[in-house]
Amino acid sequence: MSEVTQLLTAVEQGDVTAAERLLPLVYDELRRLAAHKLAQEAPGQTLQATALVHEAYLRLVGREDRQWRNSAHFFAAGAQAMRRILVDNARRKLADAHGGGWQRVNVDEIQLATEMPPEQLLVVDEALERFGQVYPQAAELVRLRFYTGVSQQQAADMLGVSRRTADRLWEFARAWLFTEIRGPVGR
C-alpha cells in the first residue's frame, strides 16, 4: 500500500495527524488539477489555484463520509470538490442577476467548463446533475473529462472500466447532454 493510501485510511479512521501528513504528499497533484481548471478561466477571476486547492482539501478531509479506495479515488474526489467550488463561485457571481441572461449552450462547442461564462457553466452543471441521477457512472466520466481535463484513458482507469467502455459511456453522455441542453427540436 502506498504512503498516500495508508494516510487516507488513517484519515478515514479519524487520525487528525494523518490529515496533516497527507497534505504535503498530495498538494502538488491537487495544485496541478487546480491550475488546469483555472488556466482557462475568464480574465479577472478572483479565485486562485492555491485557494482552490485548500478549499477542496478542507472539503475532502472535513467530510464525515470520507472513504477512498486509493489515491486515484481521492484525486477524483478532489476534482469533484474543485468542480463544486467553481460552480458555487459561478452561482455567487450570478446571484445579482437573479438568473437573468441564461442561455442554452451546444455541448459540442464546449471544450472545458472553465472556458465558459458562469451562466453557461450552470446550465451544463444542472444538465449533468440530472444525467447523474439516472446514469451515475457515465456522469462521473463526464465530470472527470470535462472538469479536470483528464484523458479518456485516465478517466477509464479512475473509474475502473476499460477504455472501450469509457468510449461508449462518453458518446452516450455527449448525446444525452446535447439533447438535454439544446432541448427538443422546435423549442
Cβ pair 178, 107 in contact under 8 A? yes
- Report the distance separating Cα 54 and Cα 111, nearest Å: 26
Residues 81 and 105 reside in one and the same domain: no
Sign, Cα dihedral of 89, 93, 96, 101: negative
Which of 66, 98, 130 delimits the end of a domain? Answer: 98
Residues 108 and 65 reside in one and the same domain: no
At 105 the pLDDT is 52
At 104 the pLDDT is 54
At 128, which CATH number? 1.10.10
Domain ranges, residue 182: 99-187
Q: What is the pTM of this model?
A: 0.52
Write down the H helix ranges in the chain. Answer: 3-12, 16-39, 49-62, 71-94, 118-134, 136-148, 152-159, 163-182
Residues 106 and 94 reside in one and the same domain: no
Residues 114 and 93 reside in one and the same domain: no
Query: Which of 108, 112, 119, 43 is closest to 83 using CA atoms?
Result: 112
Residues 175 and 119 reside in one and the same domain: yes
Cβ pair 176, 131 in contact under 8 A? yes
Residues 61 and 132 reside in one and the same domain: no
How confident is the model over 33-61, as a mean pLDDT?
79
Residues 77 and 109 reside in one and the same domain: no
Q: Which three cell numbers stand for residue 183?
A: 432541448
Summarised one tens digit per residue, pLDDT across range 4-22 is 888 888 888 878 788 888 8
Residues 153 and 186 reside in one and the same domain: yes
Which of 98, 117, 141 delimits the end of a domain? Answer: 98
Residues 175 and 87 reside in one and the same domain: no
> What total number of domains does the chain contain?
2
Which of 75, 98, 121 delimits the end of a domain? Answer: 98
Summarised one tens digit per residue, pLDDT across range 163-182 is 999 999 999 998 888 888 87
At 18, which CATH number? 1.10.1740
